[in-house]
Structure 1
C-alpha cells in the first residue's frame, strides 16, 4: 500500500492552481505534527497487516514543513506498517532559498526522492505563473537537491501564453540537460475557480492555438525519448526504473491511505475523504481522532470507472486481469464496444485480451477518448 500526506500551506497561491492550498500568516507546527500523527494512527488501525511501498508528502508546499515533523511522520508510518526494503519516500518542494536550505534536514529525516516545482526556466514566465522564486533560486535549489537525493524530479508547465515551438524546444533541451531521472511536464490547463480562469474568461489570457499545442506535445515526446526519459504516463517521463512508484499506485488502482486536509484515500474498496479547510480538519482531529468527512464503500461500477480514468493515462494502459481483481468487473463490461471499435480503427486505441491502452497517437486525446468509450 501507499501513504499520502497532505500539507496544505503555501507562501502564495499560484493563479493556475486548483489544489487544496492555503496561505496562512502563522502555523502552529507542534499542533500540526500531533494532528497528522493522530490522523495517521486512525488510518493504520483500519489497514492492519499491510506493507508500505511508498510515502508521498504533497500539498500545498510540503517543503514548508519542519524536517522534524517529516521525520516523525515517516517514523510513525514505518512503525504502523513494515516498509518494503526499497520504500520510496517523496517530498514535493518549492525552490525558494529558505526551503531549499532544509533539503539536508529532509534527507536526514528519510526522504529519498524530491519533486521540485520549477515550472519554468525563465524569469518572465515564472512571474506570469505567480511563482515565488526566480530562475536563479530554482537552479540553485536543483543543485542542492541533486547533492542530497539520489532521485530528483522536477515539474515544468508548457503550452504557456506566448509559447512557441522554438521557445519550448530551447527550454526543454536545457531541462533534459540537468540530468535528473524524472520529469513531470504538464500542459497548462485553465481550471475553474482559479485566477487564470477568470482572466481567460475575460479574454485577458490567451493560450497557444490547438495546432501549436499539438506540436508542443509531439516535441515533448520526441525530445524526452531521445534523452531516454520515456513517457510512462501522459505527463510523466522517466529513465527506466525511475518511475514514481507512488503515482503508479494511483494509476494502477492500488490501495493508499490519505491523511491531512482534503486528502483522499482508497482502501480495500472504501473511499475516504478529509475536511479540506485546514482549520476544520485540525478541529475534527482534535475532537474525534481523525479528519474524515467521507468513509464509504465504492460500488464495483464506481471502482471500475475510477480505474479506467486513472489507468488509461499510462503508456502500458490497463491490464484486464488486474482490472477484474480490483473492481470485480470485466473491463469489457464498462466499455461501449462500437465506440471502442471506431477509435481502434482510427489508430488511437488498442483493445485485446490483455487489456486496453492508448497508442502514442491517442495519448494526447486521453480525456476525449475516456468520454467516448465509458458506459
Structure 2
C-alpha cells in the first residue's frame, strides 16, 4: 500500500537506464541506441557501486520513492530491476509500500516481464504512449501503434496497483476538438494518473532541424494556450485535476517521486547523465554524471562513481529553485519555507500586483499558488517574484 501523503518534501532515489530501441526525434533526454546486447550485469554492478558512494555522501536516509527512468527501463530484465532495488535497500532505509515507479514503452511490453517487475517490487508503471492515433505516433517516431499501446495499458492495469501514461499534445495540425476527443479516450483507459505535455522543439534534436527548415509547424502560442486550458477543463471534469502544470491525478494518486522534485526535496541521481540534489555538510549540492553509458560505467569501476560535475547552491539559488519548482504545483509554496531558504520574505508588493493581475492567489495565510492564468506564463511570474 502506498503511504499517505503528509506533504513532506521527501528523499528520492532516481536510477537512469540510458538505453532505447530507437531515439525519438523530439527527445533531448540522455538516451542511447545500441545495436548489440547491453551488458546488464556490468551496469547493475555500476549502479550498486555508485549508490554506495552516494550513501557515503548523504548519510543514512529514509527513502520516500524510487524511480527507474530513461531511456527505456522496460528493456531491462526483471532480474536487473530486482538487483537495482536490492542495491537501494542496502544503502538506505526503504519502508514497505513506498512508491516504486518504472517507465515503460508499449513496444517493449511483455506480460512475463511485467509480472517479473511486479515481483521485484515495482508498484507503479509510467507508459510512454504519447498519442492515440497511428499517424501522430509515426510522426513522433514511436515504435508502437495504438493497438500495442492499448495492449500495454491493459497489461499494466492487470499487473500493477498504479498506472500512469504520457501523452503529447499541441502536435502539428491538432485541433481543439481532436485533442478533447483523444483526451476523453485516454481518461477512459487511465487508472489514476496522466502526464500531458505540450510538444516543445528542443535544440539539438532532429525535430529542431526539421522545424527550422519549415518541414512542419507547431501550433501558435494562442492556440497552444487554448489546448492547455481544454486539458485542464476535461481532466478536472473527469476527476483527474491538475496537481502540477503537466500532471493530473485522482486525489491520492499523485506521483510521489515527482512531488519530491516539485516540493524541493532531496534526491540522489544514479546512472549515466543522472542529476542529484541533496544536503551534504549543511549545504544543498548538485551532482551530475557522465552521459555516455560506457564511459560512465568505466568511471564507476575506476573511481566508485561517475560524477563529473556539480556545485554548491547559494541561499538565493536555493530559494529561486524552490519558487520555480513549487509554483508548478496546484498546492503552491509554503511562504515560511521560502523565507527560511532565502533569508527574506517574498515582496508583499509584488504578490499584491500579481494578485491584481490574476496570476497568483493565496492559499490560507501560509501558502501562495499560481492561478490557471499564471500557470500559462509561469516563468514570468517566478521571475517577478524572485527579483
Give the TM-score range, shorter chain. Answer: over 0.9
Q: CA deviation at 1:47?
A: 1.8
**Structure 2 residue aligned with 1:374:** 386
Residue 75 (1) aligns with residue 86 (2): yes
Deviates more, 1:75-84 or 1:148-157: 75-84
Residue 330 (1) aligns with residue 350 (2): no
Q: 2:189 aligns with which of 178, 192, 195?
A: 178
List alignment gaps of at least 5 residues for structure 2. 1-10
The answer to whether the 8 Å contact 1:53/1:86 transfers is no
Deviates more, 1:288-297 or 1:97-106: 97-106
**Structure 1 residue aligned with 2:15:** 5
Q: 1:312 aligns with which of 327, 340, 344?
A: 327
Q: CA deviation at 1:3?
A: 0.3
Q: CA deviation at 1:297?
A: 2.1
Separation of aligned partners in 1, 2:317 and 2:34? 36
Matches within 5 A, 1:1-375: 1-26=11-36, 27-98=38-109, 101-268=112-279, 269-325=284-340, 327-332=341-346, 339-350=350-361, 354-375=366-387
The answer to whether the 8 Å contact 2:109/2:152 transfers is no
Q: CA deviation at 1:84?
A: 2.7
Q: CA deviation at 1:154?
A: 0.2
1:90-112 per-position Cα deviation (integer Å, ceiling 9, x unaligned): 00000015556511111111000
Separation of aligned partners in 2, 1:12 and 1:127? 13
TM-score (normalizing by structure 2): 0.92
**Structure 1 residue aligned with 2:3:** none
TM-score (normalizing by structure 1): 0.95
The answer to whether the 8 Å contact 1:331/1:355 transfers is no
Q: CA deviation at 1:76?
A: 1.8
List alignment gaps of at least 5 residues for structure 1. none
Q: CA deviation at 1:180?
A: 1.3
1:276-319 per-position Cα deviation (integer Å, ceiling 9, x unaligned): 11122111101101111124321111111111111111111111
Give the secondary structure class of the aligned counterpart of 1:373: helix
Separation of aligned partners in 1, 2:107 and 2:115? 15
Deviates more, 1:297-306 or 1:338-347: 338-347
1:153-202 per-position Cα deviation (integer Å, ceiling 9, x unaligned): 00000110010011111100100011410000011111111111111111
Separation of aligned partners in 1, 2:161 and 2:345? 38
Give the secondary structure class of the aligned counterpart of 1:17: coil
Q: How many matched pairs?
A: 371
